[in-house]
């Protein structure tokens, strides 16, 4: 099934519902009915990478971003992927993957930290898994990440940054320490290791481990976004 076509069909049906033609459907019934439009995890990942290719080439279609597209999803949502990424203003997932309203469930935190990031972030992730049934989870780091760079610098200086920043950087320091053993640029390696550790943590999450055998499959991937080229690269 083509993801773009199926999603546009879904938005169209939702628009009809907003006119009252199928207004008798409950929110839960509407949400359940949209599950038939979901692709496999591999199909969703391909759609995201295809969208990123359009963005990189300057041919982004910028789909489903008008007020009517928002109103069509007033009663329910059916995102195809959960993106856990950095709060950096230069990393907007909907734009760099050329997606529209309702396509992505996005959790943003400085340094795209998963491990030890607290109940709010963990709860948001588990909500996407258990309530929205997303088939794909992506931990997305990016080049020149300020949070990771801060961790590198403060480890090097052996000082303590002020306030909560110290606790935030402390969650990234294990990735920096692991990266010291690797050849190449320390910051680039730490950015990748931070993503790897996020993926490792997600695979041990209770919502994943205790998932029923007959539940829909979930794919967890790590990726990095290059601010210079705009390209997203999936990590092996």
The pLDDT tens digits for 202-216 are 999 999 998 888 888
Return the pLDDT at 127.
95
Q: How far apart are CA 33 and CA 73, in angstroms?
A: 14
Which whole-number Å values give the CA distances from 58 to 98, 154, 233, in the listed order? 11, 38, 18
Return the pLDDT at 33.
31
CATH superfamily to which 3-234 belongs: Carbonic anhydrase (3.40.1050.10)
What is the pairing mode between strands 219-225 and 136-142? parallel
| 33-67 pLDDT, tens digit each | 333 345 899 999 999 999 999 999 999 998 988 88
Which whole-number Å values give the CA distances from 54 to 51, 93, 140, 161, 227, in the listed order? 5, 13, 18, 40, 16
Report phi then psi at 62, rounded to 5. Answer: 45, 60
Q: Where do the structural domains in the chain lie, given as residue ranges? A: 3-234
- Examine the pLDDT at 198 and tell me if it is beyond 90: yes
Q: What is the pTM of this model?
A: 0.81
């Amino acid at each position: 099934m083509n993801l773009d076509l199926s999603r546009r069909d879904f938005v169209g049906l939702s628009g009809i519902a907003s006119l009252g033609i199928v207004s008798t459907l409950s929110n839960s019934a509407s949400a359940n009915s949209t599950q038939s439009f979901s692709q496999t995890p591999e199909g969703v990942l391909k759609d995201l990478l295809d969208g990123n290719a359009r963005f990189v080439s300057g041919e982004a279609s910028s789909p489903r971003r008008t007020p009517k597209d928002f109103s069509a999803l007033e009663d329910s949502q059916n995102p195809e992927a959960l993106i856990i990424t950095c709060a950096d203003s230069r990393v907007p997932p909907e734009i760099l993957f050329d997606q529209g309203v309702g396509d992505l469930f996005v959790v943003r935190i400085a340094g795209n930290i998963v491990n030890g990031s607290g109940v709010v972030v963990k709860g948001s992730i588990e909500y996407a898994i258990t309530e929205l049934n997303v088939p794909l989870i992506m931990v997305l780091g990016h080049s020149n990440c300020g949070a990771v760079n801060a961790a590198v610098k403060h480890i090097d200086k052996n000082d303590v940054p002020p306030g909560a920043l110290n606790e935030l950087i402390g969650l990234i320091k294990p990735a920096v320490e692991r990266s010291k053993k690797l050849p190449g640029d320390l910051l680039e390696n730490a950015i990748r290791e931070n993503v790897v550790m996020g993926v490792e943590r997600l695979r041990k999450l209770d919502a994943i481990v205790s998932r029923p055998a007959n539940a829909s499959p979930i794919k967890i991937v790590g990726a990095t976004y290059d601010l210079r080229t705009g390209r997203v690269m999936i990590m092996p």
